[in-house]
Amino acid sequence: MLNEKAKLVNACPIFISNNVKKTVDFYVEKLGFKFAEHLDKIDKFAAIYRDQIEIVVVEKKKGKILSNQTRYGSGYDAYLDTATLNGIDLIYQEFKEKGVKIINKPQLTDYGSYEFIFEDIDGRNIGVGLIKDQANFFEKSNYLND
């Protein structure tokens, strides 16, 4: 047991919302998620799910919700990996047909990912993609040494 190494298996972003119900409705109607609401709790929240993705949406008590791009000038607010490169184009088309605001169409980035960016109802910029060029992405990395 001393040599046993625990593994992390998922990351679950926490999204702050002005109105959890409206945010959940957007993710369900526009993005194809399912939900478990807990709006009667002290901290109003819901968990939303699509495939292996889980996001928790919590109603804010103070402050202003700003995307990383607005607040800091860079960065997405979340990044969703697809199972395949073709999945990126399929999800892009699905979201586009449902009227989701697309920030960038699918494209190969300078760091080797094929991705697109959309904006959710709360103004968050969310990337959807997958590493396409592993040599580029992991050029300066210790990740592949494990």
Tell me the sheet residues that pair with 115. 107, 129
CATH no. for 75-140 = 3.10.180.10
- The contacts of residue 93 (CB under 8 Å, 6+ apart) are none
| Whether pLDDT at 123 is above 70 | yes
Q: One fold for both 10-61 and 75-140? A: yes
The pLDDT value recorded for residue 143 is 81
- Measured CA to CA, the distance from residue 72 to residue 42 in angstroms comes to 31
Per-domain boundaries in the chain: 10-61, 75-140
pLDDT in tens, 9-56: 889 999 999 999 999 999 999 999 999 999 888 889 999 999 999 999
Integer Rg of the chain from CA: 17
Q: Which CATH class is domain 10-61?
A: alpha beta
